[in-house]
Amino acid sequence: MSMEPEETSKQRRVGDGQVHLPRLADVVADRIRELVLEGELKDGERLPPLDALLDQFRVSGPSMREALRVLEAEGLIEVQRGSIGGAVVHRPNARMAAYTIALVLRSGGTSKGDVAEALAMLERLCGMACARRSDRESTVVRELRAINAKARNLADGDELTFNDAMLEFHTTLVQRCDNDTLRLLTRALASIWHADMRTWVTSTVWHGKYPKVHGRLAAVEVHEGITELVAAGDEAGVAAAMTTHAEIQRIYREGVDPDERVDPRAVRFGR
């Protein structure tokens, strides 16, 4: 029985797999994508005309058009046709992430109540992270106090304007949490949920069921209490207060069916 030399065996194992060279379209798309992600191509900036791109990348027209289709499918550019024409850059943001997440959640039959619950948990973590910041007074607390003061002044005015001020509190708490990943995930879920919240506010205002002034002021007081807990660096206190706050919010959200499935269109079109 003959034995195959060890070196030949190793060479065969190394050569068993096929080597796939990337398509020219993918190479071009990779390069443009990197320019967008690194900020060398700014949001809203137009890519050069097609002829200039062909000259720059030295590829065929079909390869360049395929590269642009890949980037457009990813949401990184928008190809405009007609008299203006050209491709406009769109840097990725939380809304883009929200739409993709909403698609995945909808495919799994996830309910809006599930999103609201996850959002409340993530916002609680953001609040705790804010309380943990050594510079929280200048980076978080000062801004939250100003937002609370604005909301208090709006409590007896237009419902939508007041509600926007209350949402600003949550948005700021998330923005100042000093953790990029947590901030992105929370903002993405907030985009999914807030699309329904604005519909809820409009509906309750129309039917005269939006909380009256005393209810609005009570909600502002909760925000003020959370703010002072953040100022004190009391992570446990923030967690407890935001848990209670989430329960109160659930009562106000009774107009939104928690069992209804996530609707990606609401995120996509900003409803």
CATH of the domain at 51: 1.10.10.10
For residues 237 and 209, membership in a common domain is answered with yes
C-alpha to C-alpha distance for 93 and 188, rounded to whole angstroms: 9
Range of the domain at 126: 95-268
Q: Are residues 108 and 224 in the same domain?
A: yes
pLDDT for residue 10 is more than 80: no
36 and 139 fall within a common domain: no
Q: Is the pTM of this model over 0.85?
A: no
Q: What is the pLDDT of residues 120-176, one digit of tens each?
A: 999 999 999 999 999 999 999 999 999 999 999 999 988 889 989 999 999 999 999
Q: Are residues 61 and 103 in the same domain?
A: no
4 lies in some domain: no
Mean pLDDT of the chain: 86
- Residue 183 belongs to a domain: yes
Same domain, 99 and 181: yes
pLDDT at 239 over 80: yes
Task: Identify whether 47 is part of a domain.
Answer: yes
- Shared domain check, 38 and 153: no
Supply angle C-alpha 128, 195, 149, rounded to 5.
50
**Looking at the 3D structure of the chain, how many domains does it have?**
2
pLDDT of amino acid 245: 85
Least trusted range by pLDDT, from 12-21, 64-73, 240-249: 12-21
What's the confidence (pLDDT) of residue 56?
92
**Residues 66 and 198 grouped into a single domain:** no
CA distance 90 to 202: 30
Buried b (16+ CB within 10 A) or exposed e, 193-209: bbbbbbebbeebeeeee
Q: Is 122 in the same domain as 41?
A: no
Percentage of the residues of the chain whose pLDDT score is greater than 90: 60
State whether 132 and 147 are in the same domain.
yes
Last residue of a domain, one of 89, 116, 132: 89
Which of 47, 69, 89 finishes a domain? 89
% of the chain at pLDDT higher than 70: 85
Residues 136 and 29 grouped into a single domain = no
pLDDT > 80? residue 185:
yes
Is the Cβ–Cβ distance between 262 and 112 less than 8 Å?
Answer: yes
Q: Please identify, among 89, 117, 144, the residue that sits at the C-terminal boundary of a domain.
A: 89
Judge if 66 and 156 occupy the same domain: no
- Does residue 1 surpass a pLDDT of 50? no
Which two three-digit tokens encode residue 246?
Answer: 């989430």
Answer whether residue 82 shows pLDDT above 70. Answer: no
d(CA 179, CA 185): 10
Over residues 106-110, mean pLDDT: 94
**Helix axis angle, 213-231 to 235-252, nearest 10°:** 160
User: In terms of domains, do 204 and 120 share one?
Assistant: yes
Q: What is the pLDDT of residue 7?
A: 54
Count the neighbouring beta carbons within 10 Å of the beta carbon of residue 107: 11
